[in-house]
Amino acid sequence: MQKRSRGVPKELASFGEKQFHDTGAAAVEILRVKASTIRKHFKSLKGTAFLVAVVNLDRVRIYMFNQAGIMLGAENLEESQYVRIRKTSRLLSKFEKPIPPTEEELRMEATEDLRSALSRAIRKVSRSLAQSEPDFPTIFVTKETVGFGLQSFGLQINDDGTIFFAEKSLKEEWSPGILIRAAFLALLRNDNANLAFSSSIGNALAFSLLKGTTRKQWLKIWRENTKGTPFHPLVNHLVKHADTYSDRGFSWILSLLQKLNESVDGASLLEALKSIHGNLEVALGTEHYHVIQGFCKTLVKPRKLATRRHILDAIHLAPRVLCNPIPLGIQLTVEISETSKKDESTWLEVEYIVGHEERFLAIRPSSASPLKSIHYMLNIEDFLPKPTGITMHGKDVLRWALRSLGVPSKREATFEANLVLKKTEIKSGERAVLGRLAEGRLDVLSNTLIGSPQRLEALTKKDCIVLVPDFNHLGLKHDFLIVGDTQAVRTTISAHALEATIFEVSERSYAIVSAPHVWGKELLIVAIAAGLSVYPIVRVDSSRGFLRCEAVFPDNHEGLMWSDGRSS
């Protein structure tokens, strides 16, 4: 339906529009007619300058107006007669019902919309991964269901690179996710684009880039197509690391897939992903430090944790609980062995190197040489993760320089907590909660904060538990095992380590220390001078949460994020 054209009297335009709405006519046309036309067809109506024609299926009713827009009369005409009048007149304005598009027109319009949407997705993905835009693929829309129950749900790629989109999937709210996956796969060779692993990465990239309800709907359909398949742990991993990989991780994985020249099995690709995961560090800004510092402050007041105010999913920031198991009738000890003796009773195992041989430190239930305390320390006040690697502000260097001049300088920790393992009287309900918390699982702690906050607080006040920060991908790894006199270990670590967990047995302590780069060098110098033994760590396995230890491909509860419990 058109607006009033220039040169049409206002009254005629209003009259024509009213006739169109009131009569339900197929069309209403406003014509400027010639005097000769009026003389030929309407001899008795001289002075007619305009016609308003109400066009119906079987007849046409015309209204005649003079130059001033005054109606002169009306008359019904046969369609053939009106056609002759219209040929010699000028159409000024027309009101008509839109003509329903044909099925072919609808298909062409949908295809054009799809091409435009896919072009936008390709630009978005290429920018995100710092890649040149690939050639636009050949695309078709099919009524068939493709990829159901697979990581490629909603689309199928032929050997020649042609992409077939499921028509039904394109109508869903989560369809932008399919386009992002298609854009990612367009960056790969055809054989690698057809790998289920590649589709999984494309799905993860879509989850990372989507926002709001579309992101939630995408995760839901992704989970539905993963349920009951071997890809469940991988999808858990990718969902958990969506923010972690958004900086450089997805680019690294893309480069890995682009460099594959021959067929690779899924297990090998998972091992390659493990390597990328283990070496990926997230760059932090000032605002992220405030989040970590605020989070650490709330750890001493468990009730405040329930609000989940401080969230940083990129590094999996979450609370971790250290438990005193003695009220449960469990005494722990530290054992050193030449071979791994890990079993279900092992709470912690650390593999380290002595010369050219491996050794194993384990914590497990035993009455011999009881574990007396666990001390945790985190200090990131001088720590600065950047895209180019870990660096420092220089506060610790200045402190070490002052120390060399005999000037003492105190180092304030970001967080510090001490748990003494001693016999404590607790109620039966508190004992049940302590037993569950001793499993070291985040989902148990999260549920306890909601279901048993009073008992959690009581256990904290009775020194049966302490909450410490848990995180990953900051470049803080378990670097050294330091063994020696308890006081010497604590003094050395407090001045040079970025993170440490100290297990005290009698007058001897075993410390698992994170001290990368400059901190590690200074730590070694001071530790050797203090008569401490230092060993490089190969790996840790902490099933009870005594140390930070991420399950790379988590199943069920191990894939939980701290933000999952936040109310929307």
Residue 489, classified by CB atoms within 10 Å of its CB into exposed (0-12), middle (13-18) or buried (19+), is: buried
In the chain, the largest separation of any two C-alpha atoms, in whole Å, equals 124
500 Rama sector, left if φ>0, alpha if ψ -120 to 50, beta otherwise: beta
Please report which residue ranges of 362-427 form alpha helices under DSSP H.
395-404
The answer to whether 93 and 8 are in contact (CB under 8 A) is yes
Separation between Cα atoms, residue 161 and residue 212, nearest integer Å: 31
**pLDDT in the model for residue 128:** 95
**pLDDT in the model for residue 53:** 92
In the DSSP assignment, the letter for residue 201 is: H
The answer to whether 362 and 346 are in contact (CB under 8 A) is yes
Average of per-residue pLDDT across 235-240 = 94
C-alpha of 50 from chain center? 64
Structure-block tokens of residue 523: 């730590």
**pLDDT in the model for residue 387:** 66
Separation between Cα atoms, residue 441 and residue 405, nearest integer Å: 47
Instruction: Give the bridge partners for 482, in sequence order.
Output: 511, 534
Separation between Cα atoms, residue 327 and residue 284, nearest integer Å: 40
Query: Whole-prediction pTM value?
Result: 0.80
Angle between helices 517-529 and 486-496 (to 10 degrees): 150
Residue 212 is which amino acid? G
CA distances from 152 to 112, 206, 236, 550 (A): 23, 13, 17, 28
Instruction: Give the bridge partners for 345, in sequence order.
Output: none
**pLDDT in the model for residue 43:** 64
Banded pLDDT at 3 (limits 50, 70, 90): very low
| Per-residue model confidence as pLDDT tens digits over 135-147 | 999 998 888 888 7
Residue whose C-alpha is closest to residue 411's, from 491, 516, 343: 491
Q: Where are the domains of the chain?
A: 10-96, 104-278, 288-561
**pLDDT in the model for residue 101:** 73
In the three-class reduction of DSSP (H, G, I as helix; E, B as strand; rest coil), residue 420 is classed as strand
Sheet of 348-354: strand order equals: 332-337, 357-365, 348-354, 533-541, 480-485, 508-514, 499-505, 373-378, 415-420
**Beta carbons within 8 Å of 168's beta carbon, 6+ residues apart:** 143, 145
Residue 309 is which amino acid? R
| Per-residue model confidence as pLDDT tens digits over 422-450 | 999 999 999 999 999 999 999 999 999 99
- Count CB neighbours of 503 within 10 A: 25
How many residues comprise the chain? 568
Identify the weakest region by mean pLDDT among 66-75, 100-109, 329-338, 478-487: 100-109
